[in-house]
Amino acid sequence: MARIGDQFAVNGDFLYGEELRNGHINTTYRVCYRTEEGHEDRYILQRINDYVFKDPAQVMRNVEKVIRHISWKILRRRRDAAGQTLQLYPARGGRNYITLPEEGGMWRCYNNIEGTHTYDVVENTRQAYQAGYAFGSFQDLISDMNPEDINESIPDFHNTPKRYAALQESIRKDVMDRVKNCTAEIELLRQWAPRLSTLVDMQAAGVLPTRITHNDTKINNVMLDEDTDEAVCVIDLDTVMPGLSLYDFGDMVRTATCMASEDEEDLSKVHMQMPLFESLAEGYLDAAHRFLLPAEIDRMAFAGWLITTEIAIRFLADYLDGDRYFRVCRSDHNLIRARNQLALARSIEDNLPAMEKYIRRLVKTYKR
């Protein structure tokens, strides 16, 4: 960690570091340096997973563009808030990243947003509101960027029909001899398959606009104030790329309306909670209602079901392929996750009428 950190423009002498293990994809460390004045400053070192991101330099170009745009917006609105935005530290040679073959892959260095923390699971309606508001604000800040200026770092990332087609190929190959363990899950997804193309069909027809979206809107990608739990900053921008606003909101429904973790094995604990959904939707629309089109708002509840089903498809495909994408702790970890997400999708489906009704009520308040 010291050897990597010393490649960046950080101030002071290395004291210690720790690995942060709450992410599925990248390798992340928090490191601490002592300055000449005796201050202890902390930074985030991160290795980009080049199995997931085939072109890490392209990912960094996206991240740099979005950070510059957000920083410009924040400085124009509230100069005193500039320290609470995500920033990159330059590396030797002038770039915002380094490539170290001996340590593996491409590395970058972020500021550590002090006085903040994250949650892996939403614990109350206040946190749900703040998560919705944070990602709604993020979308608002970049809503005037041209999606054509951002590269698609993972092609068809949220193309649900293609994700389902990839699952079918994994079933056909069955390289790990695991299909026999998940026949019920495969059959349920087969029944749901006709609805999986709804959003991409609407996008192709021009009903839903292409926007720049975050594409990984978990609660642990929102830094919250340690004292007030108010949203401070959205992090983890590697999957920022052209997409649909509904992808972001759908993933928020998936991750912020169920208090069980996504690898909870007791499926009786896995269900969507309406109070959490109501707070999430309120926070999101408070920040984003000005730029969203009616067609986007109308499909918010459905997007929760779709993205939850999509991640179940991805977990199941990775299980069948030998756990090459998501970090696992046991051989059936991805199967447990897939079953968990299918249970949540069923719960969301049961609550769709109530969810849609509540969103319609919210929209009326903004029109007064």
Dihedral angle computed from the Cα positions of residues 183, 188, 191 and 192, in that order, rounded to the nearest 10 degrees: -130
Residues 80-100: tens digit of each pLDDT = 444 568 899 999 888 999 988
Residues 122-143: tens digit of each pLDDT = 889 999 999 999 999 999 999 9
Q: Given the structure tokens 């912020």, which residue do they identify?
A: 256
Whether pLDDT at 352 is above 90: yes
Residues 277-334: tens digit of each pLDDT = 999 999 999 999 999 999 999 999 999 999 999 999 999 999 999 999 888 999 999 9
Task: State pTM to two decimals.
Answer: 0.89
Check: CB of residue 311 under 8 Å from CB of residue 247: no
